[in-house]
Amino acid sequence: MRPATPRPRRSLPLARAAAACAVAVWISVGTACAPAPARPSASPTAPARRPEDPFLTQLTQMLKLDAAQQERTRQLIAELYERDARIREKWDQGGRIHPEELLGSHGIFERDFLALLTDEQRRVFAEQRLKAQRGAIPGAGRRP
C-alpha cells in the first residue's frame, strides 16, 4: 500500500481566479437585476409609483414573499445597491480594487435576507442558489 500523497495546495493565481469567478457571478447577478431608469409617467396626475426592481420580483416569485417580506427585501436591496455603488465609486476614483468588498456587501444582504425568511423559503433559496452556481461555474459542485 502506497502512502497517501498530500493534496497540492492551491496556487495563489488559481485562488485569485476562483475568487474572481465568484465575484463575476455576483456582479452579473447584481447588474442583471439592477433597477431600470425611471420613465416619466404618461399621466401627470397619476400617483408616482416606484418601479419594481427585477431582483425583488424574481425573489418574490421564487420564494412567494408576503407584503412585509417584500417591503423589507426592497429596503435590503436598496442598501445593497448603495453599498455596491460606494465601493465602485471608490474604485473609479483610483482606489485599490478588492473584489472581496463586493462579496462582503452581498454577504451582508444575504445574511439579512435569510433572517426574514421562513425555514421553507430558506430551503428553496439555498436550492436555487446552488443550481445557479452549478450552471454559472462549469464543474462546480462536482468531484473529479
Domain ranges within the chain, ordered by starting residue: 51-138
Percent helix, percent strand, percent coil in the chain, to nearest 5: 65, 0, 35
The per-residue pLDDT for 137 is 53
pLDDT tens-digit readout, 55-67 = 999 999 999 999 9
Q: What is the rounded distance in angstroms from the CA atom of residue 66 to the CA atom of residue 31?
A: 25
Mean pLDDT (whole number) for 5-27: 47
pLDDT tens-digit readout, 66-113 = 999 999 999 999 999 999 999 999 999 998 888 999 999 999 999 999
State yes or no: pLDDT of 125 exceeds 70: yes
Q: Tally the residues of the chain.
A: 144
